[in-house]
Structure 1
Amino acid sequence: MTTTTAAATIPFFPPDLFEDDRDLLLDTVREIATDPAQRFILGERTARFEELLRTDLGAGDVIACGSGTTALTLILRAMGITAGDEVIVPAFGCAPLANTVLGVGATPVFADIDPHTLVMDPDAAEALITPRTKALMPAHMFSVMADMPRLRALATRHGLRLIEDSAVAQGAVLDGRPAGTWGDAGVFSFVQVKSFGGPGEGGVVVTSDPELARTVRMLRNHGQDGTHRFRHHLVGLNSRFDEILAAFQLRRHPGLAARLARRAEIATHYTRHFTPLATRGILPPPPGTDGRCYYVYTLLAERRDDLHRHLAAHHVDGHVYYPQPLPHQPAFAHTAAPGGHWPNAERAARQCLSLPVYPHLTDAEVERITTAVLTFPT
């Protein structure tokens, strides 16, 4: 009698994400721990990492901080957004879009999204502008950048600040301009599953506004200006960047372009094969390369839960991001317009299903994932 071995499940979050960097990480920990300077936060490695990203982006300044979420908080604080103010955010996305606004005492106002790209609809945002509106805070989603040219024009026309939540979009370029540089300020996140993630938390603020940069730099470090320790000019936060992560990211940065290219290759393969499924109730992201980041590859499926179970039966681990729109979340519902309806965000929450797209998937694994989707009975 012969036996067959079940295929190993292809995980959505790979447990071996940094396996190839094990020696690098161990060397980095030892290097920082034994450095005579004994500087574990905001040291010269952090400064070099900030300068590397600033040069990459052609930005005025990059300020490293504790996370992408606190990067948004630092920007809102530095802009003076506070109680009585409104910030227009997408109705579909990650919780920090709403909780950072609430955290500074302001009110998030939820705009519906484009039904296909899943990013904030500029027309929906414009309809929500009131005298209390102080900023627009669009977010790049999954594999598509927000419509930053229209949102930049909208912010300028109404005299609003533009905060670009580009946490997931490092390396993306739209109309020749990098993600993170379209707004008055942008952010990146380095949590491990992001395109340039590391083994811990971390983020940056990107801005070409010198005064905003100066204020963010003080706010991240208890309101100190970096020249006089224990002299606090502002009521700040503890959102300081780790030297181990800075050194690790400095040494991994040369491989970023290749990792991004592999993500793009996998996403292009998926889209080419899945586009014909639109008539069968499965819609892939729009094709193309401009304004794409490939952090997460997400399908819209009319029978999302059935597709999710089908993939699991074929040993492919899918993932449902954001099963509720932000204004339906218990933490934020009290701030939403009474009787409000966000049909595209609500549909996305019902239909989104994300597939593995990390760069060290093998070609065979990509084919397995593709076949599993294509064999879903419709």
Structure 2
Amino acid sequence: MTCSPEMDWVPLLVPDMPAPQLLMPWLERMHATRHYSNFGPLVRELESGFASQFALPAEGITTVANATQGLELVLQALELAAGSHVLLPAFTFVATATAVVRAGHVPVLADVDPHSWLLTPEIAHKACREMRIDAVMPVTTFGMPHDMTAWARFEADMGIPVVVDAAAAYGSQWLHGAQGTLVFSLHATKSLPAGEGGLVVSTRPGLASKVRQLSNFGINLDASAGLPVGALASVGTNAKMSEYHAAIGLASLDVWEQHARQRKALHADMVQELSRLADNRLVWQKPGPGGEMMAPTVICMQLPDEQARIALEQQCRQAGITTRRWYQPLLQDMPVLRRECRLLHTPHAEELSRTLLGLPFFLGMSAAQTQRVRESVRQWVAGAH
């Protein structure tokens, strides 16, 4: 199959945003109150729903403008010494590292488990034996959840705070009764889209409340705090979620369970069919002790080697199929970050960066689109024999 100039390309991702008519009741409520930002009624309603889901008091939850600012503000709220070493996986999106740098700290890049593609407590323990580590920021790679009981045990044993970058894992990553801090993304491409937005969930006393204050410039709004209301309590930024984005989040929440089931079923069907077509030459991310993904947002597979990936990319390109090399280059291979980071031994992350490929995956994929993806994989296999 060759892509003709007029052929529509199969996109990699298509946001699952609520239709305008589904937003109208929320927007009308917002307009009736004339409250558009500054922790309005819709933001508070969204946060209340999250608090109920995570079985936490309201002060353990706060929304933010996006997950990247959520990570930055959590690091600020932890009051780590300037230049602290924050351990994170080398195999992750750049925002994990840039949040650490912008918070005034040093990213320490570690390896990941070759099966789950996650930075694990075992890897973190090893890193702590090699150098000083002041905080750990594991990532829910492609939405794969972590075992929070194990991370809570690590935090208690080592006395080192753990902040999980759970950007892609809403609906999959839970605390399950453990202590912990999670930061989710509500970006348009995530499983609970608000267009833009983030969510901080924490059992650490006062942390989410401190992030909330920092997201409002650091202004004190607590009359009992021993500081005038309106006075600056700390140097923050403007990272509040708007009522507009909360409206989208609430509309998305109404259909989340249904869409999550559809995502999981589509993902399972594609994995099964592509594995069959590829004679089981593909390797898929495996769940760790934290459990399975409940609402996948991408489909990513490991090819036998770098040349196999190049061959499949070329086959997809000819068929008008968008692909992506997640995550390449690795953080340590980006000149802007290289000078900011410390690097540990990362053989598994390096192998993944050479062999992983993302294929189109989104709700509403047509039968014709999925067939083009399958046919490209079939032709890749045929060309490899």
Query: Could you state the TM-score of these two structures normalised by the residue count of structure 2?
Result: 0.85
8 A Cα contact 1:180 1:188, kept in partner: no
Shift of residue 181, structure 1, vs aligned partner: 7.7
Helix, strand or coil: the match of 1:186? strand
Q: Does the 8 Å CA contact 2:143/2:166 hold for their aligned counterparts?
A: no
* Equivalent position to 2:363, from 347, 352, 359: 359
Question: Could you tell me how far 1:266 is from its partner in structure 2?
Answer: 1.3
- 316-325 or 187-196: bigger deviation: 316-325
Letter of the structure 1 residue corresponding to residue 256 of structure 2: L
* Contact 1:271–1:285 (CA under 8 A) maintained in structure 2: no
Q: Which residue of 2 aligns with 1:328?
A: 333
Letter in 2 for 1:94: F
Residue identity in the other structure for 1:73:
E
Matched, 1:342 2:346: yes
Secondary structure, aligned partner of 1:53: helix
Whether contact under 8 Å (1:84, 1:132) holds in the other structure is no
CA contact (8 A) 1:86 1:106 kept: yes
Query: 2:93 corresponds to which residue?
Result: 94
Q: Secondary structure at the match of 1:142?
A: helix
Distance 1:368 1:57, change over 3 A: farther
Moved more, 241-250 or 54-63: 54-63
What amino acid does structure 2 have at the position aligned with 1:215?
Answer: K
Pair 1:328–1:48, CA change in 2 (3 A) = same
| Kept in 2: contact 1:217–1:225 (CA 8 A) | no
The answer to whether residue 201 in structure 2 is matched with residue 206 in structure 1 is yes
CA spacing shift, 1:82–1:277, aligned 2, 3 Å? farther
- CA distance change for structure 1 residues 172 and 179 in 2, over 3 Å: closer, same or farther? farther
Q: 1:249 Cα deviation (Å)?
A: 1.5
Distance in 2 of aligned mates of 1:257 and 1:369: 27
Counterpart AA for 2:96: L
Name the CA distance, whole Å, in 1 between partners of 2:132 and 2:33.
52
The correspondence of residues 82-231 of structure 1 with structure 2, limited to 5 A, is 82-129=81-128, 132-173=132-173, 178=174, 184-199=180-195, 201-227=196-222, 230-231=230-231
**SS of 1:88 mapped into structure 2:** strand
Q: 1:237 & 1:363 partners in 2: Cα distance?
A: 46
**What do residues 269-292 of structure 1 show as CA deviations (whole Å, max 9, x unaligned)?**
122233457777532233799331
Matched residue, 2:19: 21
For residue 335 of structure 1, report the CA deviation from its aligned partner. Answer: 3.8
Following TM superposition, by how much is the alpha carbon of 1:48 offset from its aligned partner in structure 2, in angstroms?
Answer: 0.6
Q: Distance in 1 between matches of 2:277 and 2:120?
A: 25
Q: Whole-Å Cα distance in 2 between the matches of residues 180 and 317 of structure 1? A: 37
Q: Does 1:370 align with 2:366?
A: no
Query: C-alpha distance in 1, partners of 2:143/2:266?
Result: 12
The answer to whether residue 50 in structure 2 is matched with residue 53 in structure 1 is yes
The 5 A counterparts of 1:247-266 are 247-266=247-266
Aligned-partner Cα distance in 2 for 1:119–1:45 = 35
Q: Give the number of aligned pairs.
A: 366
Aligned: 1:290 with 2:291: yes
Structure 1 runs not aligned, ≥5 long = none
Comparing 310-319 and 260-269, the one that deviates more? 310-319
Counterparts in 2 of 1:257 and 1:17: CA distance versus 1, 3 Å:
closer
Q: Do 2:194 and 2:252's aligned partners in 1 also have CA atoms closer than 8 Å?
A: no
Name the structure 2 match of 1:44. 41
User: CA separation in 1, counterparts of 2:300 and 2:352?
Assistant: 10
Q: Do structure 1's residue 271 and structure 2's residue 271 form an aligned pair?
A: yes
RMSD value, Cα: 2.8
Please report how far the alpha carbon of residue 363 of structure 1 lies from its aligned counterpart in structure 2 after TM superposition. 4.5
Which one is further off, 85-94 or 329-338? 329-338
Change (3 A) 1:179 1:317: farther
Q: Is the 8 A contact 2:16 2:193 kept in 1?
A: no
> Residues 271 and 287 of structure 1 are in contact (CA less than 8 Å); yes or no, is this contact kept in structure 2?
no
In the alignment, which residue of structure 1 is the partner of 2:226? Answer: none
Which 10-residue stretch deviates more, 119-128 or 281-290?
281-290
Letter in 2 for 1:328: D
Asked whether the equivalents of residues 170 and 180 of structure 1 are also in contact (C-alpha less than 8 Å), the reply is: no
Q: So what's the TM-score if we normalise by structure 1?
A: 0.87
**What is the one-letter code of the residue matched to 1:316?**
I
Work out the CA distance in 2 between the residues paired with 1:148 and 1:274. Answer: 32
Indicate the SS of the match to 2:199: strand
Q: In structure 2, what is the Cα distance between the partners aligned to 1:12 and 1:179?
A: 31
Query: Higher relative contact order by CA 8 Å / sep ≥ 6: 1 or 2?
Result: 2
CA distance in 1, matches of 2:92, 2:178: 19
